Amino acid sequence: MSGNEPVIRVTDVTKSYRLYKRQRDRLWESLGLDFRKNYKEKHALNGVSFEVSKGETVGIIGTNGSGKSTMLKLITGVLTPTAGKIEVNGRISALLELGAGFNMEYTGIENIYLNGTMIGFTREEIDQRLQSIIDFADIGDYINQPVKSYSSGMFVRLAFAVAINIDPEILIVDEALSVGDVFFQSKCYRKFEDFKREGKTILFVSHDLSAISRYCDRAVLLNQGDKVYEGTPKEAIDIYKKVLVDQFHKGSGTADASGDGTEADTGAGNDASSGNRWRDHFPVNPSLVEYGEKNAEIIDYGLYDEKNLPTSNFIKGSRFTVKMKIRAREDVLEPIFAFTIKNLKGIEICGTNTTMEKVPVATMHEGDEHIVTFTQNIDLQGGEYLLSLGCTGYQDGMFRVFHRLYDVISLTVVSSRDTVGFYDMNSTCVLDPKE
């Protein structure tokens, strides 16, 4: 922390909801006609405490349903805590639900004044910011048209421009830095960096771990309503990776102490139908493309970090392993095992196979199983990618596809420094000024 007086202080905050089996139970209780407990309590947050000092940038991360957005809504006053206390010292601009206060019948200009008035600005103050908002949104003559005629992209551009150009002391953001096209996103991130340079306080929720790593001074990790870590972004991301694969134990802040990377931990050597599979650690793409003759079948697969922990999130520059298990359904002559990594547009970025790596694979007989691992540095730029796996070969002089799984697992590369293109050449730069 910076040592300054906190501008946000969250103390033992709990937020609970009552879940009723029937709507009429809610009605009877609200009318005081039923004193039975006909509901279950769901804790969205459970005794969470943390502070944010002036000028800090703090990220909140966690899986869906961990309480991240609920926390931001409590801080901004949209929700009231069930227990605990929240103190905020400074004017807030909150990017939670972009365009929530827009009137669809009003023009873009009219909505700027409407939103500015709702925030508490006078017309003169809005006049001073109007051109900056228009320039930032960059939607041309549509600014004078009713917003109901806008595309979804134009709508969020205007909403973001209004929210971010009111000169707040505290900026609170919930997954709002990825709106619009790539050029507008770049503009949003430049504005974000301007806020940091100006010493403004920023609190934001994001699933973009690269943004957390790049911009945050600290990070808070929430899991199922509990705060499980507060500290450096790197450590928060490492623990978050364990949460994602169910290797985090509540209260320990560490992975499963029994996991030593052996076959028993990852499922290697176990039958793929036993429920102890590598792929069970990952959200498998329900829309994956699968085909092949299945003379040899890929029955299991996984991704592992340099500590041999199953994960789909990797720090750029670290070592990582692609692993798959193949079972022969009949005799297969010298099969070839491969993997490729594509970007979200479907462009193959990199990949290799056992033939390229000069690893000979003998003929597999019916019932044989092979485990193949590819280990390498991940020097891709920060972002989201898709993993594909394949088992091919030659039978009777013809190329055969035994089994392919396209876009089976998504993987995230977390980076605090990106260069141009897909791949980081790990360049060094020296400036030698002449005297």
Question: Is 147 exposed, middle or buried (CB count within 10 Å of its CB: 0-12, 13-18, 19+)?
Answer: buried
The pLDDT of residue 267: 35
pLDDT by residue (tens digit) across 73-95? 999 888 999 999 999 998 887 77
User: At residue 352, does pLDDT exceed 60?
Assistant: yes
Domain 263-269+287-414 has CATH 2.70.50.60: yes
What strand order describes the sheet that includes 83-88?
39-53, 6-20, 83-88
Mention the CATH class of domain 1-91+169-257: alpha beta
Helix 123-137 to helix 108-119 angle (10° resolution) is: 130
Burial 401-414 (b: 16+ CB within 10 A, else e): ebbbbbbbbbbbbb
User: At residue 304, does pLDDT exceed 60?
Assistant: yes
pTM beyond 0.85, yes or no = no
Token pair 């700027």 in the structure block, residue: 112
Question: Is 108 exposed, middle or buried (CB count within 10 Å of its CB: 0-12, 13-18, 19+)?
Answer: buried
Instruction: Output the average pLDDT for the chain.
Output: 85
User: At residue 36, does pLDDT exceed 90?
Assistant: no
Q: Tell me the CA distances in angstroms from 81 to 26, 44, 70, 202, 389, one per residue in order.
A: 20, 10, 10, 21, 48
pLDDT by residue (tens digit) across 137-169? 889 999 999 999 998 788 888 888 887 887 788
User: At residue 364, does pLDDT exceed 60?
Assistant: yes
Task: Please state the rounded mean pLDDT for residues 317-328.
Answer: 97
The pLDDT of residue 98: 61
The pLDDT of residue 166: 75
- pLDDT category of residue 268 using cuts at 50, 70 and 90: very low
- pLDDT category of residue 265 using cuts at 50, 70 and 90: very low
- pLDDT category of residue 408 using cuts at 50, 70 and 90: very high
- pLDDT category of residue 25 using cuts at 50, 70 and 90: low
Say if residues 404 and 290 touch (Cβ distance below 8 Å).
yes
Cα separation, 237 vs 244, in Å, equals 10
- pLDDT category of residue 319 using cuts at 50, 70 and 90: very high
User: At residue 246, does pLDDT exceed 60?
Assistant: yes
The pLDDT of residue 31: 61
Domain spans of the chain, in order of start? 1-91+169-257, 99-167, 263-269+287-414
Task: Please state the rounded mean pLDDT for residues 165-180.
Answer: 75
The pLDDT of residue 14: 96
Over pLDDT 90: what percentage of the chain?
A: 51
